[in-house]
Amino acid sequence: MTQLKPILSHLDPIIPSTPGKFKPDKFSAYSFHRLRFHPRLALWSFLSVIFILLFFCFSPPDGAAAAKRRSLQTTSYTIRVHLDSNWEVKARNSARPRSKTGFSVLVTGAAGFVGTHVSIALKRRGDGVVGLDNFNNYYDTGLKKARKALVDRAGVYVIEGDINDAVLLRNLFETVHFTHVMHLAAQAGVRYAMQNPNSYIHSNVNGFVSLLEACKNATLQPSIVWASSSSVYGLNSKVPFSEKDRTDQPASLYAATKKAGEEIAHTYNHIYGLSITGLRFFTVYGPWGRPDMAYFFFTKDILKGKEIKIFEGADHATVARDFTYVDDVVKGCLAALDTAKKSTGNGGKKKGAAQFRIYNLGNTSPVPVLKLVAILEKLLKVKAKKKVLPMPRNGDVLFTHANISLARKELGYKPTTDLETGLKKFVKWYIRYYVSKKKSAWLIGGNESGGWMRNGENEKRYGPRHGVQIISPSCETFSESSVAELVSAMAAGWNATLIVETWCQGGDIATSIGLAVASHHTGGRHICIVPDEESRSDYNNAITKSGLLVQVIVGGSIEAMEGLDGIDFLVVDCKQDEYERILRVAKLGQRGAVLVCKNASSRDGLGFGWRSLVDGKSRIVRSVFLPVGKGLDIAHVGAKTGHVKGDNLGKNLLSGNEFS
């Protein structure tokens, strides 16, 4: 038996693995053993799962209010839904397939990692798709909004709502006759269950039941494909993991809820005739992934020069994962949809036996996490700082290994992406999204024109112009309105997550309103720094007339700026004496930033130090000020040493080129 070296273990919480030592020589990737059925063992397994769920469901609330209102960050939840006035028309249009043989699919978790890729793939091949996502704050909502923008551009209408909202689901199923449901919404993560266990019951059990109820009651019951997890194999010591193996020893609450989901799915299949297929995902990775997964935050920490913790099992046992590239998983999801048979029920009544299936979707080749880190070091050209520690008891297990022979036989599933190829694609996306050494900039023409210099590209990024009705009444002149509208569109097009502006008494309020509109559009934060309480009063009086809310900080711009990390859209009033000092202390986000200089005089270029969050070093960063008439200059600022003359930048933009 081969003894592998200690490995990293901040492992992707989606898919825990099997404890023990890695034994690649003992089992082939296609072998599995049938287990005998033991009635007593089966009974105790079932009772164990029920006991766990009842324990969390009936835990006493923290107070009277907790029984009625719940939030993700506490032990309770508030169901939010945001529907357009004509959402029914949009949903029906989005759900309409290109041909009569196409599917009409509801994708839950459509702004999630796998949900985004699946939604786009379905739409591109001609199926009708409607997305549903609650955009919770388990991780960066800005990333979820950016994924939604991708799905929007693919022509998929996404509803912001919760699968626990029975009224919403009933209205949705009455509006659209879905042929299929791709259920990918869930509370993910293994370790987070130790902080907020109720969120897993809420989403993975209650939410799943709510969705199954809606499917059951539909006049034309849809076929259901849903994401289970390889975590259900828990403490199983037999490798590779086969669908025939026992799944009655979950190592985490996340795994227990996924196992409960499989049992609940079987119940609805048996009683109501729902056609249901469960897919056990194995450590899915790739572009647009989840920030809480190992490959993602390893990349982030390696670039920032931070130490990564390396966990190992007892006796230096190895940690490995069956890393599966997202495109391969998407192919498996689509194959499951294509081979799903119709449900046999109608309006909650079963009319015959229905299809019930479970498949592993993995890559069949476990990779030590230390090798994952070595590949990242190679791709990032940065040496990781590693620290070896004993593996904590947090629900993670040592390794996973998928037997995909059943999926290969019945779905035609065949993963083709090796880890290095997949990580290369992920790193390319990560650098582009977060570090961004090469980005398009916007050059705004004379204020009186009220137009775009690169109109088509900006409208494509931003979509319909938001907030024109809000901005215009606050402006004294048309030029002020046009400037505010353009700055708002820039911030939204850049998908800004932290907008910071400085404001002086008597300053232009229209731009602030435009930025507030943009932050609402992107789901980011908008902070305005004012010098004193009198300015705060004037600012609040003006901004509240628009019906918008902005976080205001009173104090010196220098002090306030030092406490803000990750700025990616900065608006500075150049009338301030400390203007250049503000730029020197402002801390740039990893992907670069857009700088807007209000009331700037005409100048060619100015170099200033901007501390990059990528490596913490102070450096000269490009800064270009373009004279545009009555007082607005805009330049893109990237986290890279450089000095660009305004004239050269202007020529590049006019020719449609990018600059780096």
Tokens 């353009």 belong to residue: 486
Residues 200, 261: contact at Cβ < 8 Å?
A: no
Residues 9 and 392: their CA atoms lie apart, in Å, by 9
Q: Which amino acid, one-letter code, is at 226?
A: W
> HEC string of 278-317?
EEEECCEECCCCCCCCHHHHHHHHHHHCCEEEEEECHHHC
Q: How far is CA 612 from CA 567, 583, 621, 660, in A?
A: 10, 12, 9, 16
> Which pairing describes strands 569-573 and 593-598: parallel, antiparallel, or unpaired?
parallel
Q: How far apart are alpha carbons 605 and 625 in whole angstroms?
A: 6
8 A C-beta contact, residue 508 and residue 598: yes
CA 95 – CA 147 distance, rounded (Å): 19
User: Which strand ranges, in their side-by-side order, compose the sheet holding 180-183?
Assistant: 157-160, 128-133, 104-108, 180-183, 223-229, 276-281, 356-361
- Residues involved in catalysis: 254
CB 296 within 8 A of CB 433: no
Task: Give the burial class of 413: count Cβ atoms within 10 A of its Cβ; 0-12 exposed, 13-18 middle, 19 or more buried.
Answer: buried
DSSP symbols for 171-233: HHHHH---SEEEE------SGGGGT-HHHHIIIIIIHHHHHHHHHHHSSSPPEEEEEEEGGGG
Name the strand (E) or helix (H) holding 544: helix 533-544
Partners of 241 in the beta sheet?
402
CB 324 within 8 A of CB 362: yes
- CA 532, CA 255: separation in Å to the nearest integer? 53
Cα–Cα distance for residue pair 582/562, rounded to 1 Å: 9
